[in-house]
Structure 1
Amino acid sequence: MHEDLLGYLLGALEPDEMQRVSEWLKDNPEGQAELARLERSLRPLEDGFEAIEPPSEDLLARTMAAIPEGIPPTSDEAVGRDYPVTLSDVELSRESTRPTSRWNVVDSIGGLLSVATLLALLLPTIAAGRFQARKAACQDNLRSLGTALLQYVTQDHQGRLPQVQPSGPEAFAGVYAIRLHDVGLLPDDQPQWCPSMDVPTQPQAVISKPNTAGAYRLPTAGELHQLSVNQLQSVQQYAGGHYAYNLGVIGDQGYSSPQYEGRATFAVMADSPVIGRDANGMATTRYAHGERGINVLYENGSVQFVSLDAIDSLRDNPFLNHAGAIEAGVNIDDAALAPSDIPPFKISVQR
């Protein structure tokens, strides 16, 4: 299975094989651990990859011009001839016994060009394969979460998505994961991490697993109200993993969670931007998948990869409401997503 996992990671398998390995990984912790180990071992190759400039069109002419005169070597008798030198004219045995030969210059140039060409062809293929494999694995995560959300909706008497409270300990986008886990629709009690992003250092025993010292688990919604301020802030930051969740909408009856309608353009979840600070204390924003784009899960269950350049041109920006704020949608068709620790309103009190 090691070869299948490597092919899955590089995106080198046939579509049906990719699906088979993906299904196998869902219920196989050992396979997931092995996939993570392979990913870590290949990460230096991708991180250190720099695109190699292809050879210029005049490389051959410049190379031939750089070869010293007299190659191939000729005998004294051949000097002055006005016809080409043939192999019979060359003293091959004498040339082969020389400690150094000017033929080595040509051999070296040719060898280096061959290596450069091979690397130029091979490394982009490997990097592209890893990108596609990680994007596909992340899309699988979102589809699984979308299936869980659909099951949650069918159990809710109003047919609504998980509620993000307007204030209090449950006023953060990542409470989606906790609500799914509370009703048994998210069997894994760990946050959901995107395969193309580094897993951050998790909080020390915010909520520990039974009989497992220091191991983090998702708390229940009820346990949120029993945590200290520092513990609650850690849970709010980590519970949603690397994903962004819908903050809710404001309708005729005021603020509430969105009612499920199966809309193809209403975003429910997406890869989350990661907010941090650089060495100078300036705010920075990083995106998954090599800053190329994000996966977006829509209400109808479809997952689409949207390039970062195209986000602002979408009819409904997934990370901003129609007022241009990172807050709940201003109407029932205004989808606004946010990272785990963001409340539905800037004035929300989260404790």
Structure 2
Amino acid sequence: MTKTREHWLGYLMGALDENEQASVEQQIAEDPRTADELEQLRTHLNLLSDGLDEAAPPVGLATRTCALLDNPSLFAEVLDSAAPEDANAPTPKDKQPFESIGGGSPRFTMMDMMVAVGACVAAVAIFFPALASSRMLATRLQCENNLRQVGMALQEFATGNAEKRYPAVASTGPLSVAGSYAPRLLNAGYLEHPEVVRCVEASQNLSQPQQLPTVEQLLNAPESDVERLQQGLATVYNYNLGSLRNGELQAPLMKGRALYPVASDIVVVQDGQIAPQGHEDGRFNILFDDGHVEFISLEDLPSSMKHYFLNDKGQVAAGVDEDDAVIANGMAHPFTEEAAEEMPALPAD
């Protein structure tokens, strides 16, 4: 019966589909009581609709609403005028900015200041180590990339001569320092930019790097100016000093050896102690004869390989034989002063 009355209500409101409407009309035709009940329902619906007449909004309602939104203080006036006064009601205190945050006071308390300082300290503790680590990594990768370019230039140089030897360090004269390989590679066109032969971080830590001299400047300079010009080689990558064969100084030979060092970041020997320069963690890049570069520390090297920076006699000088490799900083000579006086100078090329 409930479902039937729902159909009747839908019939009166015109909400039935064609089949349901036809079914109700058939009930009306077959049962007169259905028509009477439908008429009663229609009467109730008419009574409900009598109070649903739409009324026009007051004139200026939108304007007054916008005015209230633009001036929130008007809300207080409206509420005060609408609410009855209560003599016993407490007097509200004036609201201050950030009252709910600061506990009623607009000023920072000591606790607020301590919290703010603690937050700043925590941010610094997180941010600056990450920044320093990123800077160290960027410096390492830059030096490694530069050293790889130097390695390719050295291999091109060696490929261009019959004996497959890297640039020779002269026995005496302006080119008798390890760093002389750098202007020679630039002079021959194997390198295009002078900054490639330097690790920026290492050169800044040692001293303010001077301008890199050219081969012509070194060879043509007065003897009194040679040492000053050579100072510009102090911050280039370490280079192999070569070795002795039958008492003569020989340039390093390119054989593609994985454990034979050719160049490295700046590493100096002071009072018998090997001291890497430049990288804050004490490690350094080494370029090997086969062209690969490793970033290692002295602790990672076997004791036998720590002689990369000293020859078999414990000197910063040329190796005593072809397998005795010594990589030295740019100002190092291949011989001690006594030995250099007895050795004939090698040609510049």
TM-score range, shorter chain: 0.5 to 0.7
2:213 maps to: 218
State the match for 1:340 in structure 2.
Answer: 330
Task: Determine which of 182, 185, 190 is the counterpart of 1:185.
Answer: 190
After superposition, the Cα gap between the structure-2 partners of 1:109 and 1:167, relative to the gap in structure 1 and judged at 3 Å, is same
Matches within 5 A, 1:138-287: 138-189=143-194, 192-199=197-204, 200-201=207-208, 216=211, 218-220=213-215, 223-239=217-233, 241-251=235-245, 254-273=248-267, 287=277
Distance (whole Å) between structure 1 residues aligned to residue 304 and residue 131 of structure 2: 31
User: What corresponds to 1:306 in structure 2?
Assistant: 296
Aligned 8 A contact 2:266 2:277 in 1: yes
| Cα deviation digits, residues 170-197 of structure 1 (max 9, x gap) | 2110111122122211222568331213
Percent identity between matched residues is 28
- Match of residue 121 from structure 1: 126
Whether 2:329 is the aligned partner of 1:327: answer no
Q: Counterpart in 2 of 1:49?
A: none
Q: Give the match's secondary structure for 2:309.
A: coil
Distance (Å, rounded) in 1 between the aligned partners of 2:106 and 2:160: 84
CA distance in structure 1 between the partners assigned to 2:105 and 2:175 by the alignment: 82
2:141 counterpart of 1:136: yes
1:106 is displaced (CA, Å) by 3.7
Q: In structure 1, give the amino acid aligned to 2:317.
A: E
Checking the alignment, whether the CA contact within 8 Å between 1:316 and 1:322 is kept in structure 2 is no
Partner AA of 2:266 in structure 1: S
2:166, 2:252 within 8 Å by CA — same for their partners in 1? yes
Tell which structure's C-alpha radius of gyration is larger. Answer: 2
Q: TM-score, normalised by structure 1?
A: 0.60
Partner of 1:112: 117
Q: Give the unaligned 5+ runs of structure 2.
A: 1-98
Find 2:308's aligned residue among 280, 302, 318: 318
- Secondary structure in structure 2 of the residue aligned to 1:107: helix
- Change in CA separation of 1:290 and 1:249 when aligned onto 2, cut-off 3 Å: same
Aligned residues: 238
| Residues 218 and 293 of structure 1: CA distance in aligned 2, closer, same or farther (over 3 Å) | same
- Structure 1 regions of 5+ residues with no counterpart? 1-91, 204-215, 277-282
- Shift of the 260–201 alpha-carbon distance from structure 1 to 2, 3 Å rule, reads same
- TM-score, normalization by structure 2: 0.60
Q: What RMSD over aligned residues (CA atoms) do the two structures have, in Å? A: 3.1
Report if aligned partners of 1:264, 1:298 keep a CA contact under 8 Å in 2.
Answer: yes
Q: CA deviation at 1:132?
A: 0.2
CA distance in structure 1 between the partners assigned to 2:203 and 2:247 by the alignment: 41
* Deviations, residues 196-215 of structure 1 (Å, cap 9, x unaligned): 13555465xxxxxxxxxxxx
Change beyond 3 A, Cα 1:99–1:167: closer
Higher share of residues assigned helix = 2
